[in-house]
Amino acid sequence: MGKERQNYIRYIGYFVSGKVDSMISAYEWRDFLREKLPANPNNSTDEQLKNTAFTLYFAHFASIVGCTDFRTLIATLKWKKMREFILDVQKVKVKYGLPDSIVIFYTDSKEVNKHMGEENGTMEGIIKAMDDPVKERVTKSGVKKADLSTSPKQSKADKKYHYRLGPSGTCIYETKVDGKMKRVRKTDVPDKVIKECEKFIKQIKKERGDKSSPKSSIRSSSKTKSVEDGCKDYKVTELKFIAKNKGIKGYSKMKKNELCEALGYK
């Protein structure tokens, strides 16, 4: 294995291991690596590893130097553009007599690669990060089980949707777009999927001994009203989304009262 290739692996493995505070979840690392590298990362070309490592390197320092969101950088810019951004920021600092950055980094490719070799990541770490993350929890009896709330679950009612338990106790909905999971607003999700997710939340809370009811993802005007009550609580755009999911014809031209009537909302 060439020295440069080894350095790329060391840096990528180090970066995605969670040792760098970039606020990226395990699921986002998984999707990032799957997009950049082949299913078996051992088969990666030197160019693929370089592109991945340099993307991480320059996004990290561009986020510090330019006070820019790391997640946005790796999703929108190629590493050469990020390097250009860093150099432009440095020029502005020189122009206005501002102090240089307190962090040490390099823009020359050879120096960058040498710097990467100082980290201790491994190919095993990269492979682990590309797998679906599964956390464990300990039940009252001391048995370890997979934590269902952290793993996206495919809907049985509509297989194009996935859902998982969010940190606030509500459902988070996702669907696959261009091979990547994307968040979906609840107004875009069919009622049957919403109900399925809420049942899922109840199951989790029951297993954990939590008797509180899950926070509903379905709008309702009062606790005593059904899901399909409270038309005044919906916006026209939301009603159109629901009508679209229910297969109601001509929904796009309907007014609010017509949408409510077609949906059976009061």
pLDDT tens, per residue, the chain with 266 residues: 699 999 999 999 999 987 775 567 787 888 889 899 998 999 999 999 999 999 999 999 999 988 888 888 988 899 999 999 999 998 998 999 988 777 888 999 999 999 999 999 999 999 989 887 655 544 555 555 544 444 677 888 888 898 877 655 678 888 888 777 788 888 888 999 998 988 887 877 676 555 444 444 444 333 333 334 457 667 787 777 777 777 788 888 888 888 888 877 76
Residues 6+ apart with CB under 8 A from 8: 46, 49, 50, 52, 53, 113, 116
Q: 146: which strand partners? A: 136
Query: Is residue 163 helix, strand or coil?
Result: strand
* pLDDT score at 238: 72
C-beta of residue 11 within 8 angstroms of C-beta of residue 121:
yes
Length of the chain: 266
CA–chain centroid gap for 157, Å, is: 23
- Residue 117 corresponds to which tokens in the numbers above? 């070799």
What's the CA gap between 70 and 74, in Å, rounded? 6
HSE-CB at 245 with a 13 A cutoff on CA atoms is: 20
What's the CA gap between 23 and 69, in Å, rounded? 10
What's the CA gap between 236 and 5, in Å, rounded? 55
C-beta of residue 37 within 8 angstroms of C-beta of residue 56:
no
Q: Going by DSSP bridges, is the β-strand pair 180-184/171-177 parallel, antiparallel, or unpaired?
A: antiparallel
Domain map (residue ranges) of the chain: 3-130, 134-217, 219-266
What's the CA gap between 24 and 265, in Å, rounded? 41
* pLDDT score at 135: 54
Residues 6+ apart with CB under 8 A from 226: 220
* pLDDT score at 26: 81
pTM above 0.85, yes or no: no
* pLDDT score at 169: 64
Residues 6+ apart with CB under 8 A from 157: 190, 192, 193, 195, 196
* pLDDT score at 244: 76
Q: Max alpha carbon distance in the chain (Å)?
A: 69
* pLDDT score at 120: 92
Q: What are phi and psi of 164, to 5 degrees?
A: -155, 165
